[in-house]
Amino acid sequence: MNVSEAVASRRSIRQFLPEPVGRDVLERVLAKAQRAPSGGNVQPWNIHVVTGAALAQLCEGVAALLPQGRAAHSTEYTIYPEALADRYEDSRREVGEGM
């Protein structure tokens, strides 16, 4: 497969199964992720894996904040350009909301 074929066949799916992810799978994913490049190679992340009661509490907290929309969250750093042209900003939001 070449790059054009890969881009043309790309899909984003955000649907989750009710079964928990096995610890072995998480460990393999995290072992690979820790070697992923980042801007300036600063690796600006921390990983927290939660299950059981802690996961339920986290989900409840997120669900309580969702109705507040963007007002409930501020980012640590800017992800998108501040002055993104309207058509690009509209498209970005449309895709995000559609997912």
Q: Is the dihedral of CA 35, 38, 41, 46 positive or negative?
A: negative
* Mean pLDDT (whole number) for 35-59: 82
Choose the weakest-confidence range: 2-11, 12-21, 52-61. 12-21
Give whole-number Cα distances, 8 to 2, 15, 28, 92, in Å: 10, 21, 28, 18
Share the mean pLDDT of the chain.
83
Cβ 20 vs Cβ 51: under 8 Å: yes
pLDDT tens for 23-38 read: 999 999 999 888 887 7
| pTM score, whole prediction | 0.47
- Cα separation of 92 and 60, whole Å? 27
* Mean pLDDT (whole number) for 6-29: 85
> Is the confidence at residue 79, as pLDDT, over 80?
no
- Cα separation of 38 and 87, whole Å? 28
